Structure 1
Amino acid sequence: MKKILTVTVPSYNVEKFLENTLDSFVDERVLDDIEVLIVDDGSKDKTAEIGRKYEEKYPDTFRVISKENGGHGSTINRGIGEAKGKYFKVVDGDDWVDQDGFAELIRRLKTCDADYVFTNYYEVNDVTGELNPVTFPEIRKEEQMPFEMIANETRISMHALVLKTSILKENQIRLDEHSFYVDVEYILYPIPYVKNVIYFDIFVYMYRLAQVNQSVSMLGYQKHMQNHIDVIFHVLDYINAYKEKADYDKLKELYMARRIAEMVHGQVDVFISFGSGDKVIQKKFKEFDAEVKEKNAYVYEKSGEFSGMLRLLRKSGFRFYSLIVRLSKVRNG
């Protein structure tokens, strides 16, 4: 039976969470319509062993793919290469799906032909259990429309996204390996090839938050700062290459550029978090900003709109770095 959806589950040392993740797919309403690829990224714990139990019990749905460690992007790349479903979704090995919402998604995908599908999701506080709903009220519901109609309206995250597998395969979409923060590549790299989108007003993904060691915590950003910078520049290079293509679309370029301007703003916060006395960070910050300007003037200007402190630093030529950073930290508590 042809599968409607391939779910790739990037899994690295997630024995604590994986059963909860995989159990959320064990639903008679969807088992025949999905394939779940548990991509074990060289785990040192029982991740693969847990995955094999599901593979043995539900061989037509679950499959374990064990590989050498290559990072989050490598697991998605492998999933894309192995996928047989019409659509493709990523659910990390420490997250899960709401069963009713997921069943409804599969029901709707059976009659859907949009390239880019997105849904609501919950952010789940791992400590308190509190749910924060993430929705897209600015977008018309249940209506297929050209991508350009949402290009100025919304900011889509990986947790919301379902993509047509053929777009990923035929255009050889590949993410950086051995790197954090590649979610934005997964979101943006397909956009030049996306013709239409649809928003289903249902809650599907359950995104676990508040783990101290998460890469999206400030400590994580500090530790993996170079990964974050590399992804920014790789996507800027991708945007610049896209501008030279015959099927170039200005709205798509600006959508991607705005997302990267947001990442630049985030990187500014990371630099500031180190404090005012680190001369190495100050030098790296100044060099980073100069390279952004060289690569993409729009992203450079837009990131300045997002950050008043960045505008001050630029106007001063970074001469008052220590003072501006101290004032910023006082203002932000």
Structure 2
Amino acid sequence: MDKQELVSVIIPAYNLESYIERSLRSVLEQTYENIEIIVVNDGSKDKTAQVAEKILRNAGKSYRIINQENQGVSVARNIGLSVAQGKYIKFLDGDDTLFPWTIEELVRAIEENNCDIAFGGQNVVNLKGKVLYRYDEMYKYVQGIYEASEILRAFLLRITHISLNSSIFLKEIIDKNLIKFIPGAKYSEDNEFISKYLYYARNVFVFNKAVAKALYRLKSTTKIPSLSAFHNVGAMLRLKRFFEERNVQEIAKIIELECIPDSYVWTIGNLAFNGYPLFDWLRIAKMDKVRRNIISCKIHNKHTKFGKQQNFLINLFRFSPFLVYVLLRSYACILRIMHKYG
């Protein structure tokens, strides 16, 4: 690349003093040099902001650390967007990391192929860097250039997956179309944002490789069993309205028939995996609306390890929700051991 356009790396952080250094180091080690780093400290009660300041102070990169009262990850990302100066936006969660070449290759893919977004896969790793789940064990990635509408369908049908960590966006599209994260949303706010972005985008570049690493962290907020996990369903209902209002009935129908049932599957699975009390979980799982949505869910990525597991658990749910709970809790315990001793 002859001229390096500015990339704004937005990192929301809440109580991550033990993890944010590794994330920031992965950004500072990027082969792409023209970056600004925006850390939004979302009311942390630990030394997250101080650790970030210590690392960035003499790093030779433009940076900002914004301290706000705890308002959630959506507001933190929106604050980052409001001050970002870059042509490109790169989101990164404060406990996850990039490969040294990630930003350079994502930007090159957009610029050389006239695309509006580029993304790849994301490996799930433990603190020692051991891969617990490889990107292609979860979803399908076929490298190349695609129309955004095609990727939107594949994304909503869960054939492929786009994470904020593993993608890069054009700020112009975000600003022009007023795309924001929904304040207060705790789950699937990222999928909602990405789906709206794809609606306004033209072309997409897909990498068939991991471009980011998500840390499996035992004490993250998403590992706390809470009924706020049903925010997944809320996000899909909002997204359905978004496409209905724009008369994109095909996509609205996909969300109704595919995404909403899948959001119930994910929510119930999340609660079981993270240890929501068994009898309370069974009561929720057996509710007519919940059960109907789960058993109607279709798995479109059955060729992957993750897809096969999902399909098995949905079929088992029809027979015994209790066994589904036991299996998910057992797998959670195995992952804890792998995470600890990996």
Please indicate, yes or no, whether the TM-score normalized by the shorter chain is above 0.5: yes
Match of 2:15 in 1: 13
Please, what TM-score do these two structures have when normalized by structure 2?
A: 0.74
**Larger Rg, first or second structure (1 or 2):** 1
Match of 1:261 in 2: 261
**What amino acid sits opposite 2:210 in the alignment?**
F
In 1, Cα distance between equivalents of 2:107 and 2:185: 31
Structure 2 residue 199 is matched with structure 1 residue 192: yes
**Could you tell me whether the CA contact under 8 Å between 1:114 and 1:198 is conserved in 2?**
yes
Shift in Å, 1:124: 1.3
Match of 2:304 in 1: none
**Could you tell me whether the CA contact under 8 Å between 2:30 and 2:102 is conserved in 1?**
no
**What amino acid sits opposite 1:303 in the alignment?**
C
Shift in Å, 1:81: 1.7
Shift in Å, 1:91: 0.9
In 2, Cα distance between equivalents of 1:310 and 1:79: 41
The alignment-based identity, stated in percent, is 23
Q: How many residues align?
A: 306
In 2, Cα distance between equivalents of 1:75 and 1:156: 20
Please show how residues 1-333 of structure 1 align to structure 2 within 5 Å. Answer: 3-27=5-29, 29-32=31-34, 34-58=35-59, 61-126=62-127, 129-130=130-131, 132-135=133-136, 138-148=140-150, 151-152=153-154, 153-181=159-187, 182-209=189-216, 211-217=217-223, 220=224, 222=225, 224-225=226-227, 227-246=228-247, 248=248, 250-251=250-251, 254=254, 258-270=258-270, 274=276, 277-278=279-280, 281=281, 284-285=284-285, 290=289, 302-303=296-297, 307-308=314-315, 311=318, 324-329=320-325
In 2, Cα distance between equivalents of 1:290 and 1:155: 26
Shift in Å, 1:38: 0.9
**1:274/1:97 CA distance change after superposition, 3 Å:** closer
Match of 1:321 in 2: none
Q: Which of 9-18 and 49-58 deviates more?
A: 49-58
Shift in Å, 1:30: 1.9
**What amino acid sits opposite 2:230 in the alignment?**
I
Once superposed, what is the RMSD of the aligned Cα atoms?
3.5
**Could you tell me whether the CA contact under 8 Å between 1:119 and 1:203 is conserved in 2?**
yes
**Could you tell me whether the CA contact under 8 Å between 2:37 and 2:61 is conserved in 1?**
no
In 2, Cα distance between equivalents of 1:258 and 1:131: 27
**Could you tell me whether the CA contact under 8 Å between 1:94 and 1:208 is conserved in 2?**
yes
**What amino acid sits opposite 2:289 in the alignment?**
A
Which sections of structure 1, spanning at least 5 residues, go unmatched? 294-298, 313-323
**What amino acid sits opposite 2:175 in the alignment?**
K
In 2, Cα distance between equivalents of 1:266 and 1:198: 27
**1:70/1:121 CA distance change after superposition, 3 Å:** same
In 2, Cα distance between equivalents of 1:276 and 1:144: 44
**1:311/1:236 CA distance change after superposition, 3 Å:** farther
Shift in Å, 1:178: 4.3
In 1, Cα distance between equivalents of 2:186 and 2:23: 21
In 2, Cα distance between equivalents of 1:61 and 1:186: 26
**Could you tell me whether the CA contact under 8 Å between 2:285 and 2:321 is conserved in 1?**
no
Match of 1:318 in 2: none
